[in-house]
Chain A
Amino acid sequence: MTILHWQIGTNIENSIIEFLRDKVTAQSLQLLDVNGVAKTVNVYAGRELNNEWNLPLIQVYLDSKPDANRLEIGSNKRLRSFQIIIDIRTLLPGQETNLGDWVEEQINDGITIYDYTPNSSNPEAPVKVILGHGRIDFITSMLVPGYDDADQYDQNRYRLTIKVWING
């Protein structure tokens, strides 16, 4: 029996999440709430919004794999792209755009993509080896239109769509 571990899509997703979490920690990145209290920016994985997530947050998930071009004729090596959605949700209006700019700046030079394997002795810290460098293309970068009676997670929302390119 073989248990299928994380494949390339999940590896890329998690590499971005880990990259952003490291940047948030390194810069002690916080945003103010309506009372002027500083709140740490959280980074979460997943397409579906979880009501237990804390704002402000950066939500990251793999959406699709639009490109799988052959690198050369007769080879099965491909240049693949992985389209990632980054939804940014904040407590106050204007913060979502600023956080969107911050994310763009952080990932602009690309990110290191890791291959993760489970670590039974410490499941929270999977073993990782470098798989390569993921180049970033920005596809969309815009505010999601908001409305007064929107859910708190959707009142101040910014969406980035990026393509991560990696050979393999």
Chain B
Amino acid sequence: MAIVSIDSKDNQPLSAKIVAITKDLSEKHTKILADAHKKELDKSIEDTRERSLKPTGNHLKDQIQVEKIDKGHGVGNIAVLNVKAPWWAWINYGKAQSGRTIPPGTKENPRITGHFVPKQKGIFTKGQPKFPMNPKKAIKAHNYIEKALGVMISKVRELLK
């Protein structure tokens, strides 16, 4: 029986070396997956878009970013989204975080007046000309989170085959 001894150059235990390499690889994998997931989220947001992109202000897509977290990388920091794009939940689940399902209108708040830009499938924009607006229909659930996950899970399974 032959016994092979492997020493690391810097005299660190081999097990520590393997753990470090594995951890690094694992982090790189989560980064690749997170980047791919971000692309799928962007795609599903665009695919389910009902109105044109608003010309100014925060956009949901831009607020969903890949971030380094404790054990790798994550996509979409909910604390950031709650501040910069709080409508993320409304669009996905068809329900605002305030609990409402139908957006507020002029009857509820007289300051909500404005117009749509562009006129067809546009975004409601405050300012002149000021027309009243009273939505009656609830926002539909777009399920962009689930759509992206559904695609990503298939991609990961293909990779692991």
Would you call B147 and A154 a contact (CB within 8 A)? no
Cβ < 8 Å to A, chain B residues 118-155: 138, 140-141, 143, 145-147, 149-151, 153-154
Flag whether B30 is at the interface (Cβ < 8 A).
no
Chain A residues whose C-beta falls within 8 Å of the C-beta of B98 in the assembled complex: 147, 149
Flag whether A145 is at the interface (Cβ < 8 A).
yes
Stretch at the interface among B17-25, B65-73, B89-97, B109-117: B89-97
Would you call A67 and B154 a contact (CB within 8 A)? yes
Cβ < 8 Å to B, chain A residues 47-78: 47-49, 63-64, 66-67
Would you call A147 and B97 a contact (CB within 8 A)? yes
Flag whether A151 is at the interface (Cβ < 8 A).
yes
Complex Cα–Cα for A137 and B154 (A): 10
Complex Cα–Cα for A83 and B143 (A): 11
Q: Which of A48, A66, A149, A159 contacts B140 (CB 8 A)?
A: A48
Flag whether A20 is at the interface (Cβ < 8 A).
no
Would you call A151 and B146 a contact (CB within 8 A)? no
Would you call B95 and A154 a contact (CB within 8 A)? yes
User: In the complex, how many residues of chain B place their beta carbon closer than 8 angstroms to a beta carbon of chain A?
Assistant: 21
Chain B residues whose C-beta falls within 8 Å of the C-beta of A131 in the assembled complex: none
Flag whether A146 is at the interface (Cβ < 8 A).
yes
Flag whether B28 is at the interface (Cβ < 8 A).
no
Flag whether A127 is at the interface (Cβ < 8 A).
no
Chain A residues whose C-beta falls within 8 Å of the C-beta of B147 in the assembled complex: 63-64, 66, 83
Flag whether A15 is at the interface (Cβ < 8 A).
no
Complex Cα–Cα for A66 and B143 (A): 13
Q: Which of B99, B140, B146, B154 contacts A146 (CB 8 A)?
A: B99
Consensus secondary structure, chain A interface: strand
Q: Which residue of A lies closest to B148 (CB)?
A: A66
Flag whether A113 is at the interface (Cβ < 8 A).
no
Chain B residues whose C-beta falls within 8 Å of the C-beta of A137 in the assembled complex: 153
Question: With A151-B100, A151-B101 in contact, is A140–B146 under 8 Å at CB?
Answer: yes
Complex Cα–Cα for A91 and B120 (A): 39
CB distance from B113 to the nearest CB of A (A): 24
Complex Cα–Cα for A81 and B149 (A): 13
Chain A residues whose C-beta falls within 8 Å of the C-beta of B89 in the assembled complex: 145
Would you call A149 and B93 a contact (CB within 8 A)? no
Would you call B99 and A64 a contact (CB within 8 A)? no
19 A-B interface contacts by CB (under 8 A): A47-B140, A48-B138, A63-B146, A64-B143, A66-B150, A83-B150, A85-B146, A139-B149, A139-B150, A139-B153, A144-B93, A147-B98, A150-B100, A151-B95, A155-B99, A157-B93, A159-B146, A161-B143, A161-B146
Extra contacts besides A151-B100, A154-B95, A163-B153 (16): CB < 8 Å: A48-B138, A48-B140, A63-B147, A66-B150, A66-B151, A66-B154, A83-B150, A139-B150, A147-B98, A147-B99, A150-B99, A150-B100, A155-B99, A157-B93, A159-B146, A163-B150
**A: which residues have CB within 8 A of B?**
47-49, 63-64, 66-67, 81, 83, 85, 87, 137, 139-140, 144-151, 153-155, 157, 159, 161, 163
